[in-house]
C-alpha cells in the first residue's frame, strides 16, 4: 500500500530557504521530492496541465551551484513553484483552459516568470485554470476540474486559479502564480485553505499573461504563508514597458515593515453587503479574527462602505469582464463556439451586448466610485470581510444546471469582485475550518497600492493563530499501486 512519507510537503518558503542555507537540504533534493509528489498525487488532484521535469532539474542544479559557490541570491533560490496556464512559459503551450490552444506554444517566458527565474526559483510546471480564467467556482468542462484537496469527494477548488491553489494546498509546490480579475487568486486560496495576494493593477506586469479583462487583470502569488506571499511579491514588482499600467509605479519594499505588528492601526469590518448571506461559521471565524487583531493592539470597529453596494447594484457591471474578454477570444467564439466550455462561452458571448456608450459610462461611474471610496477609507488602514460568503460545495451540486452554476458563481465572487472594481488590493488568509472540515478565508483589504499594509495585518494575524498550519490529509489521493 502506498503511503505519504514526504518530509517537506507543507513547509514554507522561509523554512525551506533556511534549511538550504544550513546544508540540510539541496535544491535538487527539494525539486525531486516535489516532482515525486506530483507523480503520486496529481492523478487524482488534477492540478497540473503540464509538468517540466527537465527544466526543473536544470534550474535546481543551477541554484545548487550558486549555493555551493557561497553566494546568497536571496530567499527564493531553489524554491519550486508552478504557474497558472495563462502565463507564457518557453516551450510549453499557453492553453488558457482550452484544448483548442494546445498549439499555442510560448516562444519565451513572460516577465513574471523571468523575474522568478532571476531570483533563482525553479519552475516545475503549469496548472489548470477555468477556461479563459472566466469563472469563480473553478470548474472546467474541457480539460477537467482540479480537486479541492480537503475532501475526497470532488468539491469546488475556486477559480479561476484553481490548479495553482490545489497544487499549493496539497503540498505539491510551496508557491504558485495566479491571476485575479474578479477574485481568481483569493477565492481559490480561501476555499483551499492557503494565502492568496491580489495586487493593485500596475504593481506587476501582465505582459505575456493570457488576458481576460485588461482593465481588471492582476497577477499575484498563492502560498502557504503571508511571509511567503511577501517574498514572492517583492521580486515580481516593477515597471515593464509592455504593460503601460506599471509605468511610473514605484516599487515597494514590503518586507521592511512586514513584522511591525498592528498596534494603533485602525482596522474595520466592512459591514455594507459583505456579510449578507454569509454562512454562520464563516461569519463567526471572520469576526473572531477582529478580536485577535484587537488583542494585538489594533483599533477594530465597523464602517459602512456604500460604494460596495453601488458597485454590486450596477446593472452593466456584470457585462464588463465579458465584454473585454470577447476581444482576445473573439475568433474562438466565432469559429469554435460549440467546442468551448458551454458555461464559459454562454456567459462570455453576452459581453457583445454591452454598447460602447454603456461601456464608457460604466468606466466613468467606476472612476467616480474609486475616488469616493478613498474618502470613505481615509482613516482606515485595512478592512476585514469574508473572502467568500460560503465554503466549498460539491462540484455535482454546483454543476447541476446552468442556473445553479450561475447562482454559486455570483455567491462566490461578490466580496472579491467589489474590490477589483474599486481597485483595492487584498490578501486572503486562512481563519478557520468548519465543522465539515472545510477552510474559511479572511480577506484583508487595503487601499490601492497598499499591499504593505494588507500583508502586515495578515502576517500579524497569522502569527497569532494556527490556521495556516492546517493542511488536508491526502491518503485518498494516492495513485493506485501498479
Among candidate residues 160, 161, 162, 218, the one labeled active-site is 160
Q: Which of 49, 52, 84, 215 is catalytic?
A: 84
On the 0-12 / 13-18 / 19+ scale of CB atoms within 10 A, 468 is buried
270 burial type by CB count under 10 A (0-12 exposed, 13-18 middle, 19+ buried): buried
Q: Bridge-partner residues for 442, per DSSP?
A: 386, 429
For residue 274, give every residue at least 6 positions away whose Cβ sits within 8 Å of its Cβ, in sequence order, or none. Answer: 305, 308, 385, 386, 415, 418
Whether the Cβ atoms of residue 63 and residue 21 lie closer than 8 Å to each other: no
d(CA 96, CA 134): 10
Q: Measuring CA to CA, which residue among 200, 208, 295, 308 is closest to residue 250?
A: 200
With CA atoms as reference, report the closest residue to 381 among 289, 276, 261. Answer: 261
> What gap in Å lies between CA 343 and CA 249, rounded to an integer?
37
Does residue 428 carry a catalytic annotation? no
Q: What are phi and psi of 29, to 5 degrees?
A: -60, -45
3 state SS of 324: helix
Neighbours of 464 (CB within 10 A): 14
Sign of CA dihedral 129, 134, 135, 140: negative
Q: Is 174 exposed, middle or buried (0-12, 13-18, 19+ CB in 10 A)?
A: buried
Phi-psi region of 423 (alpha: psi -120 to 50; beta: other; left: phi over 0): left
Please, which residues bridge with residue 468 across strands?
A: none
Tell me the three state secondary structure of residue 201: coil
Distance CA 196, CA 188 (A): 8
Is there a contact between 250 and 126 (Cβ–Cβ < 8 Å)? no
Instruction: Note if 49 is an active site residue.
Output: no
- The catalytic residue among 162, 184, 213, 225 is 184
The reply to whether 84 belongs to the active site is: yes
Tell me the catalytic residues: 84, 160, 184
Amino acid at each position: 500500500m502506498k503511503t505519504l512519507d514526504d518530509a517537506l510537503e507543507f513547509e514554507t518558503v522561509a523554512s525551506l530557504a533556511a534549511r538550504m542555507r544550513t546544508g540540510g537540504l539541496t535544491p535538487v533534493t527539494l525539486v525531486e521530492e516535489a516532482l515525486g509528489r506530483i507523480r503520486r498525487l496529481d492523478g487524482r488532484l488534477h492540478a497540473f496541465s503540464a509538468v517540466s521535469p527537465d527544466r526543473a532539474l536544470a534550474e535546481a542544479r543551477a541554484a545548487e551551484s550558486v549555493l555551493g559557490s557561497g553566494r546568497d541570491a536571496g530567499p527564493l533560490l531553489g524554491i519550486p513553484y508552478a504557474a497558472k496556464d495563462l502565463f507564457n512559459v518557453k516551450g510549453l503551450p499557453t492553453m488558457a483552459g482550452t484544448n483548442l490552444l494546445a498549439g499555442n506554444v510560448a516562444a519565451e517566458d513572460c516577465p513574471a516568470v523571468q523575474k522568478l527565474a532571476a531570483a533563482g526559483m525553479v519552475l516545475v510546471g503549469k496548472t489548470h485554470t477555468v477556461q479563459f480564467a472566466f469563472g469563480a467556482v473553478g470548474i472546467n468542462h474541457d480539460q477537467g476540474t482540479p480537486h479541492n484537496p480537503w475532501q475526497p469527494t470532488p468539491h469546488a477548488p475556486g477559480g479561476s486559479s484553481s490548479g495553482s491553489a490545489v497544487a499549493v494546498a496539497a503540498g505539491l509546490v510551496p508557491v504558485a502564480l495566479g491571476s485575479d480579475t474578479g477574485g481568481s487568486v483569493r477565492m481559490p486560496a480561501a476555499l483551499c485553505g492557503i494565502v492568496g495576494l491580489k495586487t493593485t493593477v500596475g504593481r506587476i506586469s501582465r505582459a505575456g499573461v493570457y488576458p481576460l479583462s485588461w482593465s481588471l487583470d492582476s497577477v499575484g502569488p498563492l502560498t502557504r504563508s503571508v511571509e511567503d506571499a511577501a517574498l514572492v511579491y517583492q521580486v515580481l514588482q516593477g515597471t515593464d514597458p509592455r504593460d503601460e499600467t506599471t509605468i511610473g509605479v514605484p516599487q515597494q519594499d514590503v518586507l521592511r515593515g512586514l513584522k511591525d505588528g498592528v498596534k494603533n492601526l485602525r482596522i474595520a469590518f466592512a459591514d455594507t453587503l459583505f456579510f449578507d448571506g454569509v454562512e454562520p461559521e464563516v461569519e463567526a471565524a471572520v469576526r473572531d479574527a477582529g478580536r485577535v487583531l484587537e488583542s494585538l493592539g489594533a483599533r477594530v470597529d465597523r464602517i459602512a462602505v456604500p460604494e460596495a453596494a453601488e458597485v454590486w447594484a450596477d446593472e452593466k457591471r456584470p457585462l464588463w469582464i465579458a465584454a473585454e474578454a470577447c476581444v482576445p477570444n473573439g475568433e474562438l467564439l466565432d469559429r469554435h463556439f460549440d467546442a468551448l466550455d458551454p458555461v464559459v462561452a454562454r456567459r462570455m458571448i453576452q459581453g457583445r451586448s454591452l454598447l460602447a456608450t454603456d461601456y464608457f459610462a460604466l468606466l466613468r461611474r467606476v472612476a467616480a466610485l474609486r475616488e469616493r471610496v478613498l474618502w470613505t477609507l481615509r482613516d482606515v488602514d485595512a478592512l476585514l470581510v469574508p473572502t467568500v460568503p460560503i465554503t466549498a460545495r460539491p462540484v455535482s451540486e454546483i454543476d447541476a444546471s446552468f442556473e445553479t452554476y450561475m447562482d454559486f458563481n455570483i455567491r462566490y465572487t461578490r466580496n472579491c469582485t467589489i474590490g477589483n472594481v474599486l481597485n483595492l488590493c487584498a490578501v486572503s488568509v486562512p481563519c478557520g475550518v468548519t465543522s465539515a472540515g472545510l477552510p474559511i478565508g479572511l480577506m484583508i483589504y487595503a487601499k490601492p497600492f497598499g499591499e504593505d499594509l494588507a500583508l502586515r495585518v495578515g502576517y500579524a494575524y497569522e502569527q497569532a493563530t494556527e490556521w495556516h498550519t492546517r493542511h488536508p490529509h491526502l491518503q485518498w489521493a494516492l495513485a493506485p499501486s501498479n
